[in-house]
Structure 1
Amino acid sequence: MITARIISILIGYFAGLFQTGVIYGKITGTDLRKTGSGNTGTTNSIRVLGWKAGVIVCAGDLFKAVVAIIVVWLLFRHGEGPVKLYMLYAGLGAVLGHDFPFYLKFKGGKGIATTVGVICACNPLMVPICAACFFAAVIPTGFMSLGSLAMCLGFLVQTILFGVLGPESLLGIPAAFHAEYFIIAAIITGLAFIQHRQNINRLIHGQENKFRPGKK
């Protein structure tokens, strides 16, 4: 059902347009786009404004994906289509809305907290491994970017393994839709790498900044 897929992406995209970092910055009188790394996400919020800001920004960016996915579930749960697949489409839309908000000239965040929301809402069984991937990368290196990418890879690998090795109930959709589900998960992961391309370049050249939280 192509229409359901399009509706799901659009619901996600418009939910993703809620830029928590931009809104919080306006409230506090700090434009995160012009401070620190220039990113409006969790890491830069913590660096510039402290842990309280980071928690608020992270929660807002995470829950907007959850809300979009719940809305799609409510819309299509009684239909004949694969509602779990539509939920992932909504998650993709939320990440796209966060990364490329039209009203900010398509310059948004990196979508990591939003991706966490997608994982939590679409398949919470994946959360422990994704969290382990994140901390296993961040704790020894201090690089939040590396942890974020490791988490996204953990999501993609688990998605494929759940579909290939696990029972149908793990992904919650018929096997006929597994390949499409894998592709959407790969796109979400790919977006994280695209948005972190400068970080990846700095990591390669040993110039990436380690995480240092602000004192506020």
Structure 2
Amino acid sequence: MGQADYPTITLMHQIAALSGYLIGSIPFGIVMAKLFGLGDLRSIGSGNIGATNVLRTGNKPAAFLTLVLDAGKGAIVVLLFLHAFDYETTLARQYALLGGLMAVIGHNFSIFLRFQGGKGVATTLGTLLAYAWPVGLGACATWLVVALVLRYSSLAALVALAGAPVYALYLSDSNTVILALALGLLAFARHHENIRRLIRGKESKIGKKKPD
């Protein structure tokens, strides 16, 4: 019986990966910038496609919508697979985990932007909130505290996503630990330039233009 199940399981994993990647690839920051008449977001500020760079245009509604939509695309993929199957089954959580991970990869390497993209922080937080809400909530709270105190979005993201696997270890299961670790490592890799600027004291703060 187990062998007969393999084709269906393999197909569903492929569907989860592909749908997660395609949904994650939607560059909502660029879409919002165009809808609000802000120009090409990739030529503004840091050139990133996320909400922080949209905020550099001074348009807070566009930045807020970008944040919600970028987080939402990770969450919707996870919830889709959790609720399409029995929520607590191993397979449902496998599909959701894979779909959420691929949504972040889609944001970072969007097929619609010739495999360029953002850093995936909002999509990562949305994915974690939907997959294991206590872990996601802990990561979001960490981001908020660091961002409010130090005013560095990148540093807040790095601290929050470094803490997420620790939260998962105490608040969730091993699958969540794996997901949080994978997303955290990806985020650190995508923030390598920010890390260098933070060390040199050249990183721009939230709400301010990128320094020359």
Verify same fold: TM over 0.5: yes
User: Aligned Cα RMSD in Å?
Assistant: 2.1
Once residues 168 and 16 of structure 2 are traced to their aligned partners in structure 1, the CA distance between those partners, rounded to angstroms, is: 20
CA distance in 2, matches of 1:38, 1:213: 14
* Counterparts of 2:158 and 2:92, CA distance in 1: 27
Tell me how far 1:76 sits from its aligned partner. Answer: 3.2
User: 2:184 is matched with which residue?
Assistant: 189
For the residue of structure 2 that corresponds to 1:203, the secondary structure is: helix
Q: Which moved more, 1:74-83 or 1:113-122?
A: 74-83
| Deviation larger for 129-138 or 139-148 | 129-138
Distance 1:184 1:61, change over 3 A: same
Hey, what's the Cα distance between the residues in 2 that align with 1:22 and 1:139? 26
Q: Which has the higher contact order (CA 8 A, sep 6+)?
A: 1
Matched, 1:125 2:125: no
Question: 2:140 is paired with a residue of what secondary structure?
Answer: helix
Aligned residues: 200
Which one of the candidate residues 11, 19, 26 is aligned to 1:18?
A: 26
Q: Deviations for 1:19-54, whole angstroms, at most 9, x for unmatched residues?
A: 111111222331110111101101011111421111
Q: 1:194, CA displacement in angstroms?
A: 1.3
1:114 to 117, 123, 138: 123
Once superposed, which parts of structure 1, at least 4 consecutive aligned residues long, lie more than 4 Å away? none
Match of 1:175 in 2: none
8 Å contact kept, 1:85–1:181: no
Q: Which amino acid aligns with 1:12?
A: G
Name the SS for the 1:210 alignment partner. Answer: coil
Match of 1:83 among 75, 89, 92: 92
Query: 1:6 aligned to 14, 17, 31, which one?
Result: 14
Structure 1 length as normaliser, TM-score? 0.83
The answer on whether the counterparts of 1:11 and 1:72 sit within 8 Å (CA) in structure 2 is no
Structure 1 unaligned regions, length at least 5: 163-169, 172-177
Deviates further, 34-43 or 183-192 = 183-192
Confirm or deny: 8 A CA contact 2:165 2:178 kept in the other structure. no
Which of 195, 198, 204 matches 2:193? 198
1:208 has 2:203 as partner = yes
